[in-house]
Amino acid sequence: MRFCVVGAGFSGAILARHLSEKGHKVLLLDERAHIAGNCHTERDTSTGVMVHRYGPHIFHTADKRAWDYVQRFGTFRPYINRVKAISGGHVYTLPVNLLTINQFFNTTLSPKEARAFIEQKSDKSITEAKNFEEQALSMIGPELYKAFFYGYTRKQWGFEPTNLPASILKRLPLRFNYDDNYFNHPYQGMPEEGYTAIIANILKSDNIEIRLETKFEDVSEEFRHVFYTGPIDRYFDFKLGRLGYRTLDFERIEEEGDYQGTAVINYCDQNIPFTRISEHKHFAPWEADQFTRTVAFKEYSRLAEPNDIPYYPIRLVNEKAMLDNYIALARQTPSVSFLGRLGTYRYLDMDVTISEALAVCDRLDQLLETDKAA
Ligand code: FAD
Ligand code: UDP
């Protein structure tokens, strides 16, 4: 009997590849018409630009194993994410760094002076931040919080930051030098041919049958085991309720030349309805000059309705309780393993997705060995 892998994103592709390398036959399903899940990239038919269809994806990691893994399947070009942010009619750089601080407060502080200045603004009564707002106030003080985080976060998550976990903000660095690299990770890059080419290379095997535009729910074949990277609540037919997600709407802008002069500009004011604009040719600087026309996308975030694409798991108190119940159900379903961003209902970057999928492969090897011995 063959194995089934549901979902052709990084999680599913890595599992399918691993099983195929061990000599097993795999049916890989995806309900979409393409592989690569939310990392899917494609050439825009009108401009020729490589477009990240489900939002900008920058590869960054401190995990050598994940980095080495992706290098096997395509060339990565150096790419550093340098985000601009518009707040109150001015342009700044993010993450908050010395230039942001000096421009915002109209100062010329040195690193030491800036550290002391922000320290004096930070709320010292907060010893352990219980939510996003407390984390921000204790980290950067009220002015920078209001200018760069309050409005953006309201738009992105649809909740007051006091209702959101501190962990969302902990993702971002705060720097007292002029380094505006958005990430701290040592390995960062962009695949030269896009992410879909990487996933296609991962999936190159005679042992893998890829069936697109096919929902797992519509397949009646019996499998030795199922690796499910779709939404965990959907697998159980939402019988314990629907886990909350934010979804995104993209508004396309196309014009001659250069639209905004950089890949990503965040719009931090609450009265502007979108969160950011991404201009995709700047994600591939090595070829950007080739294109006479450009394409950019305004990103709007809202609560996902049942038929929307689930993007960001909300994970507030109610969702976490529901998730625990689904995890209990999953434990009673030994014929299925749940993994990936949707299968575990966690906001996972690509590198974490990859290292978790590789860890599942490691455990699987042990199980298959025990199976063989028995
Ligand atoms: P997915 O890529 O979501 O793949 C799951 C697949 O399963 C989908 O193709 C879906 O169609 C399919 N599926 C689901 N249910 C079924 C079913 N029942 N039957 C058939 N098919 C099914 N990470 C970074 O490292 N850097 C970034 O810059 C970055 N930017 C991001 C920006 C946005 C807007 C978002 C939302 C995410 C971003 N990420 C980024 C995270 C990245 O997208 C994920 O880490 C990655 O996509 C997770 O891969 P996955 O295989 O687990 O899930
Ligand atoms: N954030 C913000 N303003 C910004 C950028 C980020 O308020 O200009 C907040 C927002 O709540 C976001 C979180 O910081 O969800 C983490 O930012 P990141 O860039 O990692 O967001 P993601 O990659 O999840 O879209």
- The CB of 79 under 6 Å from ligand 1? The reply is no
Residue 34 to residue 41: CA distance in whole angstroms: 10
Q: Which two tokens stand for residue 117?
A: 């200045």
- 97 and 144 Cβ atoms separated by less than 8 Å: no
Q: Which two tokens stand for residue 72?
A: 């096997």
- 46 and 156 Cβ atoms separated by less than 8 Å: no
Nearest CA to ligand 1 atom 6: 7
Tell me, yes or no, if 302 is annotated catalytic. Answer: no
Side-chain half-sphere exposure of 142, counting CA atoms within 13 A? 2
Pairing of strands 83-87, 90-94: antiparallel
Nearest CA to ligand 2 atom 10: 153
pLDDT of 374 reads 64
Q: Please tell me whether the overall predicted TM-score, pTM, comes out greater than 0.90 for this model.
A: yes
pLDDT digits (tens, 9 = 90+) for 188-205: 999 999 999 999 999 999
pLDDT, mean of residues 352-370: 90
Tell me, yes or no, if 171 is annotated catalytic. Answer: yes
- 104 and 144 Cβ atoms separated by less than 8 Å: yes
Residue 76 to residue 201: CA distance in whole angstroms: 14
pLDDT, mean of residues 78-107: 98
Task: Show me where the domains of the chain are located.
Answer: 3-35+203-241+313-373, 83-170
- The CB of 57 under 6 Å from ligand 1? The reply is yes
Mean of the per-residue pLDDT values for the chain?
A: 96
Provide DSSP, 124-137: TT-SS--SHHHHHH
**Residue 75, number of CB atoms within 10 A of its CB:** 12
CATH class held by domain 3-35+203-241+313-373: alpha beta
pLDDT, mean of residues 322-327: 97
**Residue 282, number of CB atoms within 10 A of its CB:** 21
pLDDT digits (tens, 9 = 90+) for 222-263: 999 999 999 999 999 999 999 999 999 999 999 999 999 999
Q: In what order do the strands lie in the sheet with 187-191?
A: 59-61, 187-191, 76-78
pLDDT digits (tens, 9 = 90+) for 139-185: 999 999 999 999 999 999 999 999 998 988 888 899 999 999 999 99
